[in-house]
């Protein structure tokens, strides 16, 4: 009974390779693949060398990164030496997460492989495509099944890019050892069957990877896919009729047989060959009538004269496709040449496998589970019983191991499988909106200071795209933006770091930043259509346009202007209890930001979005939106008027308070004023951070002051032309405030609350230099960008802003912490607020 069971199990697993079971991690993650066996065409730094390209590991700088930015024409690879021929069925890739400081990943890649280390073959899928779609973020591993699988020893993962990008990869490969040891087969190319009333059936070997037509390679006959009884329909791959078989027609091949040659990795003693063959005799297809195999002990020797002959029992009753097992009498060889004789007009094979002595006799293809080897010879009747007992015990152990193994296999299999069936990456409609919901790479940290890592919830419904769409109807309706894999560079498709992480804010995924109507609007805006935004989403009231009386122009930009206006009857309009804006005598003064009527629809969209965002913000240190005029063009938003203008202008016209300034009546500020300003900015930013709102452009120029020197954070983008030298233009498109930007924002386009903290540090520095100097004024824009590279490299060559003469050293230490390379080391806004507040009260 046990023996029978064992045989059944064995015949199932040992008959030939089963790609559905051959899915074991090959050892990148757990280190069975040694560092020495992982090489690369190049590496950016020692800390991003090939040995760091292990899936789910966070060593070095968190991944393998090839040197420099990857150009579309570049071929950079991570090469794995699997040491033995391996049947590779699955590849998983991941980007460089590096505890959330990484931002590089390979959006696409391809594979080259080599069985001998010399001849490299590019993998193609069954329809001839080389490119595999890879990652969409830095931490989620994307698992891809290889159809067809690869039989190889060396594997290269080659990131592919459409635009210039930095890429980094972590990988794992899955599969099992290729115990057949077959390195190549050759055969006549399969033919095409054309019969009236049937589809044209191509029986060629379409995945063959040899040098010539069916010479020196492997293909469909070793891919583990077995054809069906009817050879016409293909299995799962929507390809062409007859796909799963390689077939030949007798009369087109003179001699009445098909000759195939098989080469192996080394000399083996062959026990059998199994040929999966079609037997649809109604259409003239039968298994071979006989086969004759000759052996070659060494690759360069002659064929041995005495072949192994085998005749099949022909079956005219059962049309099932079947394995024909050909005993090979333990003959030894490194190559075989077999002639399969026709039994009918056609002969069709879908798979050929070889069994040789070197296989573990009992183990299923689970190589890393150490099975005891079967006992050797049991001689003599006296020991026979003992032997039987031993065998039975062993069988019990083996069965247990097999069952256990199958359980483990299932567990091992499940993860990648499930991912495959429903790629975990949930893409929400637009390229700027690739919201990826996954299990977190690290468990959420519990600490008082909110960490900056974006940790995703494990709630199962967040794995389900449909559930999400229901929750985010706006997003599900929005149009596709560009091709599915538009390169999300900073100018177009920056993911909204601020909103991915927690449930209460998912409704605000469309909140991007305070950027308004600047022509240079470089920040990603999800593709929520204007229609879905207007009217219904705007929670502030429509103000009668005719009651806005123009006073003067405050600023101007590509898409609009900011005017100072008198708002007649605004107090009544806003109603009782509404905090009244600044009053000039009887008139209420407001700032009116107005979009040009001919602005692009993108600018309109952004404008409405800014309205929507601002209407939800309610904090004493954030500029307040009072009302809007959106029922007709031009679109306007009405905000508080800040009489003292922006902080940059304000401070640059003042001296620090002293007896001299008093004596000469020079406009001045005290240290206490400066500290009070810093506290207010920290307070406003603390509020934004509590909403997971990323400002992205915090600077003194975006902090406004009213008459009482209350600071309100804003972004009057339209007046930016005053500060155009603060922004850096990339190819005329993006305008980036690089001197305020954290290194990861410059290099990786990553904007988070932590990068706002960096900008806060720069803003503090501006305040304590009284805005007399641009940050890094001695560096050119290019040098600033280089400097952020030094921050990334962290080899002590980065340049920090220097201690401003007015600045207390404790405060400078705080600034320096804001400029920590690792975002974990930067303080949060609430801790900044806590740290600054006592100083302000002090003096």
Is the N-terminal amide bond of 634 cis, ω within 30° of 0?
yes
Q: Does 332 bind ligand NAG (CB under 6 A)?
A: yes
Indicate the residue among 260 and 608 with the shorter CB distance to ligand NAG: 260
Report the nearest approach of ligand NAG to the CB of residue 291 (Å).
Answer: 14
CB atoms within 10 A of CB 316: 10
| CB of residue 431 to ligand NAG, shortest distance in Å | 18
Q: Cα(702)–Cα(516) distance, rounded to whole angstroms? A: 12
Ordered alpha helix ranges (H), 659-752: 659-664, 671-690, 743-748
Residue 342 found at the interface with ligand NAG (CB under 6 A): yes
The H or E element containing residue 7 is: helix 2-14
The nearer residue to ligand NAG, 240 or 723, going by C-beta atoms, is: 240
- From 13-21, 263-271, 484-492, 730-738, span contacting ligand NAG (CB under 6 A): 263-271
Binding mask 194-223 for ligand NAG (x = CB under 6 A): --------x-x-x-----------------
Q: Smaller CB distance to ligand NAG: residue 357 or 422?
A: 357
Mark the segment that binds ligand NAG (CB under 6 A) among 119-127, 297-305, 781-789, 799-807. 119-127
The two structure tokens encoding residue 74:
């570049």
61 is catalytic: no
Residues 6+ apart with CB under 8 A from 196: none
Peptide bond into 614 cis (omega under 30): no
Which span (30-38, 121-129, 688-696, 713-721) binds ligand NAG, by CB under 6 A? 121-129
Q: Could you say whether residue 357 binds ligand NAG (CB under 6 A)?
A: yes
User: Out of 56, 125, 272, 532, which residue is the one contacting ligand NAG (CB under 6 A)?
Assistant: 125
List, in sequence order, every residue forming a beta bridge with 354; answer none if it has no partner: 273
Any bridge partners for residue 561, and if so which?
556, 594
Query: Concatenated DSSP letters for 685-707?
Result: HHHHHHTT---S--SGGGEEE-T
CA atoms of 699 and 719, how far apart (whole Å): 14
The binder of ligand NAG chosen from 57, 115, 126, 712 (CB under 6 A): 126
Inter-CA distances, 334 with 211, 212, 251, 265, 746, Å: 20, 21, 31, 7, 58
Number of residues that bind ligand NAG (CB under 6 A): 24
CA dist 782 and 779 (Å) reads 8
Of the candidates 653, 674, 620, the residue with the CA atom closest to the CA atom of residue 772: 653
Please calculate the CA angle 102-105-109 and round it to the nearest 5 degrees: 165
Interaction of residue 828 with ligand NAG, rule CB under 6 A: no
Stretch that binds ligand NAG, among 23-31, 48-56, 340-348, 695-703 (CB under 6 A): 340-348
Q: Taking a C-beta distance cutoff of 8 angstroms, is the pair 67, 167 a contact?
A: no
**Of 319, 190, 314, nearest in space to 249 by CA:** 190
List helix spans (H) across 235-380. none
**Cβ nearer to ligand NAG, comparing 290 with 710:** 290
Residue ranges in 691-780 assigned as alpha helix (H): 743-748, 753-768
For the beta carbon of residue 613, count every other beta carbon within 10 angstroms.
20
List the interface residues with ligand NAG, window 128-167 (CB under 6 A): 129, 131, 147
Residues with Cβ < 8 Å from 477, sequence gap 6 or more? 429, 529, 532
Question: Considering only residues 76, 250, 429, 700, which one is a binding residue for ligand NAG as defined by CB under 6 A?
Answer: 250
Q: How far is the CB of 206 from ligand NAG (least distance, A)?
A: 4
Does the footprint of ligand NAG cover residue 358 (CB under 6 A)? yes
Q: Is 739 helix (H, G, I), strand (E, B) or coil?
A: helix
- 3-state class (DSSP) for residue 13: helix
* Nearer to ligand NAG among residue 246 and residue 326 (C-beta): 246
Q: Considering beta carbons, is residue 254 or 577 the nearer one to ligand NAG? A: 254
**Minimum CB separation from ligand NAG for residue 360, in Å?**
12
Distance between first and last Cα of the chain: 91
Q: How far is the CB of 171 from ligand NAG (least distance, A)?
A: 18
- DSSP letter assigned to residue 73: T
For ligand NAG, the closer CB: 199 or 838: 199
Please provide the size of the chain in residues. Answer: 843
CB 646 within 8 A of CB 702: yes
Binding to ligand NAG (CB under 6 A) within 218-247 occurs at: 237, 240
Q: Is 318 in the site for ligand NAG (CB under 6 A)?
A: no
What is the CB neighbour count within 10 angstroms for residue 840?
18
Whichever of 272 and 332 has its CB closer to ligand NAG, that residue is 332
CB of 157 to ligand NAG, least distance (A): 16
Chain centre distance of CA 332: 48
Member of 68, 199, 256, 838 binding ligand NAG (CB under 6 A): 256
Among 29, 180, 344, 413, which residue interacts with ligand NAG (rule: CB under 6 A)? 344
Find the shortest distance in angstroms from Cβ 334 to ligand NAG. 10
Which of residues 175 and 804 has its CB atom nearest to ligand NAG in the complex?
175
User: By C-beta, is 89 or 501 nearer to ligand NAG?
Assistant: 89
127 binds ligand NAG (CB under 6 A): yes
Can residue 271 be called a binding residue for ligand NAG (CB under 6 A)? no
Considering the complex, what minimum distance in angstroms separates the CB of residue 129 from ligand NAG?
3
Q: Which of 621, 629, 536 is nearest to 590 (CA)?
A: 629
Residue 794 contacts ligand NAG per CB under 6 A: no
> Which CB, 105 or 270, lies closer to ligand NAG?
270
Q: Which of 697, 715, 726, 756 is catalytic?
A: 697
Q: C-beta of 183: minimal distance to ligand NAG in Å?
A: 16
Helix (H) or strand (E) holding 407: helix 381-421
Q: Confirm or reject binding of residue 714 to ligand NAG (CB under 6 A).
A: no
Q: Which residues sit opposite 249 in a β-bridge?
A: 346
Instruction: Give, in degrees to the nearest 5, the angle at Cα 333 between 332 and 335.
Output: 150
Q: Report in angstroms how near the CB of residue 442 gets to ligand NAG at its nearest.
A: 31
Taking CB under 6 A as the criterion, the residue among 17, 65, 221, 343 binding ligand NAG is 343
Q: What is the nearest approach in angstroms of ligand NAG to the Cβ of residue 743?
A: 35
SS3 assignment, position 668: strand
Q: Quick check: bond before 148 cis, omega within 30?
A: yes
- Choose the stretch contacting ligand NAG; rule: CB under 6 A; options: 14-22, 123-131, 624-632, 775-783: 123-131
* Distance of closest approach, residue 152 Cβ to ligand NAG, in angstroms: 19
Closest CB to ligand NAG among 281 and 693? 281
Task: Please choose, from the candidates 48, 130, 131, the residue with its C-alpha nearest in 3D space to the C-alpha of residue 95.
Answer: 48
Tokens at 464, concatenated = 């389900």
For the CB of residue 445, give the shortest distance to ligand NAG in the complex, in Å.
37
Q: Which has the closest alpha carbon to 364: 303, 419, 405?
A: 405
- Closer by beta carbon to ligand NAG, 126 or else 712: 126
Q: Catalytic site residues?
A: 697
Q: Applying CB under 6 A, which residues contact ligand NAG?
A: 125-127, 129, 131, 147, 202, 204, 206, 237, 240, 250-251, 256, 267-269, 332, 342-345, 357-358
């Amino acid at each position: 009974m046990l023996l029978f069971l064992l045989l059944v199990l064995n015949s199932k697993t040992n008959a030939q390779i089963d790609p559905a079971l051959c899915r074991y991690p090959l050892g990148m993650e757990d280190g069975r693949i040694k560092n020495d066996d992982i090489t690369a065409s190049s590496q950016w730094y020692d800390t991003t060398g090939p040995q760091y390209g292990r899936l789910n590991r966070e060593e070095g700088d968190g991944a393998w990164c090839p040197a420099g930015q990857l150009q579309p024409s570049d071929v950079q690879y991570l090469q794995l030496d699997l040491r033995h021929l391996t049947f590779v069925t699955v590849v998983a890739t991941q980007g460089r997460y590096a505890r959330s400081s990484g931002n590089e990943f390979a959006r696409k890649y391809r594979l080259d492989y080599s069985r001998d280390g010399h001849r490299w073959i590019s993998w193609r899928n069954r329809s001839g495509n080389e490119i595999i779609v890879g990652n969409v973020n830095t931490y989620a591993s994307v698992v891809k099944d290889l159809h067809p699988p690869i039989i190889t020893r060396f594997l290269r993962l080659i990131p592919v890019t459409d635009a210039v990008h930095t890429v980094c990869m972590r990988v794992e490969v899955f599969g099992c050892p290729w115990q057949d040891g077959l390195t190549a087969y050759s055969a006549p190319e399969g033919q095409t069957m054309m019969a009236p009333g049937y589809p044209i059936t191509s029986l060629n070997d379409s995945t063959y990877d040899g040098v010539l037509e069916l010479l020196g390679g492997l293909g469909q006959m070793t891919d583990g896919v077995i054809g069906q009884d009817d050879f016409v329909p293909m299995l799962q791959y929507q390809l062409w009729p007859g796909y799963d078989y390689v077939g030949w027609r007798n009369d087109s091949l003179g001699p009445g047989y098909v000759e195939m040659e098989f080469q192996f990795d080394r000399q083996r003693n062959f026990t059998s060959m199994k040929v999966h063959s079609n037997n649809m005799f109604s259409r003239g297809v039968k298994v071979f009538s006989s086969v004759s195999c000759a052996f070659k002990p060494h690759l360069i020797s002659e064929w041995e004269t005495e072949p192994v002959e085998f005749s099949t029992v022909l079956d005219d009753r059962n049309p099932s496709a079947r394995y024909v097992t050909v005993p090979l009498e333990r003959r030894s060889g490194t190559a075989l040449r077999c002639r399969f004789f026709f039994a009918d007009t056609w002969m069709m094979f879908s798979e050929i496998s070889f069994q040789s002595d070197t296989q573990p006799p009992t183990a299923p293809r689970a190589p890393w589970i150490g099975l005891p080897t079967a006992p050797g010879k049991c001689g003599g009747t006296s020991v026979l019983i003992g032997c039987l007992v031993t065998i039975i015990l062993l069988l019990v152990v083996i069965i247990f191991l097999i069952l256990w193994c199958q359980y483990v296999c299932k567990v091992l299999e499940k993860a990648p499988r499930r991912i495959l069936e429903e790629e975990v990456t949930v893409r929400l409609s637009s390229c700027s909106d690739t919201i990826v919901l996954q299990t977190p790479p690290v468990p959420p940290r519990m600490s008082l200071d909110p960490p900056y890592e974006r940790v995703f919830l494990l709630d199962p419904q967040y794995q389900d795209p449909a559930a999400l769409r229901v929750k985010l109807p706006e997003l599900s309706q929005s149009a596709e933006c560009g091709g599915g894999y538009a390169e999300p560079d900073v100018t177009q498709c920056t993911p909204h770091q601020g909103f991915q992480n927690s449930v209460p804010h998912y409704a605000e995924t469309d909140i991007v930043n305070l950027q308004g109507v600047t022509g240079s609007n470089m920040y990603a805006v999800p593709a929520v259509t204007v229609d879905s935004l207007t009217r219904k989403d705007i929670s502030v009231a429509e103000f009668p346009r005719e009651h806005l009386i123009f006073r003067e122009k405050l600023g101007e930009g590509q898409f609009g202007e900011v005017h100072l206006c008198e708002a007649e009857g605004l107090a009544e309009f806003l109603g009782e209890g509404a905090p009244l804006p600044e009053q000039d005598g009887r008139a209420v003064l407001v700032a009116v930001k107005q979009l040009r009527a001919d602005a692009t629809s993108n600018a309109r969209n952004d404008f409405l979005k800014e309205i929507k965002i601002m209407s939800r913000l309610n904090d004493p240190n954030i500029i307040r939106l009072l009302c809007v005029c959106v029922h007709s063009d031009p679109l306007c938003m009405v905000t508080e008027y800040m009489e003292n203008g922006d902080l940059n202008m304000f401070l640059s016209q003042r001296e620090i308070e002293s007896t001299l300034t008093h004596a000469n009546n020079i406009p001045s500020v005290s240290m206490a004023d400066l500290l009070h300003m810093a506290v207010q900015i920290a307070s406003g930013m603390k509020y934004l951070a509590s909403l997971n709102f990323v400002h992205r452009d915090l600077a003194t120029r975006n902090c406004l002051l009213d008459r009482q020197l209350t600071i309100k954070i804003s972004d009057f983008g339209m007046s930016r032309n005053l500060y155009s030298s603060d922004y850096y233009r990339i190819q005329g498109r993006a305008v980036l405030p690089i001197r305020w930007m954290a290194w990861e924002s410059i290099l990786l386009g990553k904007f988070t609350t932590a990068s706002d903290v960096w900008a806060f540090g720069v803003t503090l520095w501006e305040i304590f230099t009284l805005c007399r100097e641009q940050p890094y004024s001695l560096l050119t824009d290019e040098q600033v960008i280089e400097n952020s590279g030094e921050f990334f490299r962290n080899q002590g060559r980065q340049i920090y802003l220097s201690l401003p003469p007015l600045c207390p050293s404790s405060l400078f230490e705080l600034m320096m912490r804001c400029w920590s390379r690792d975002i974990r080391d930067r303080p949060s806004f609430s801790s900044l607020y806590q740290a600054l507040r006592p100083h302000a009260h002090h003096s």
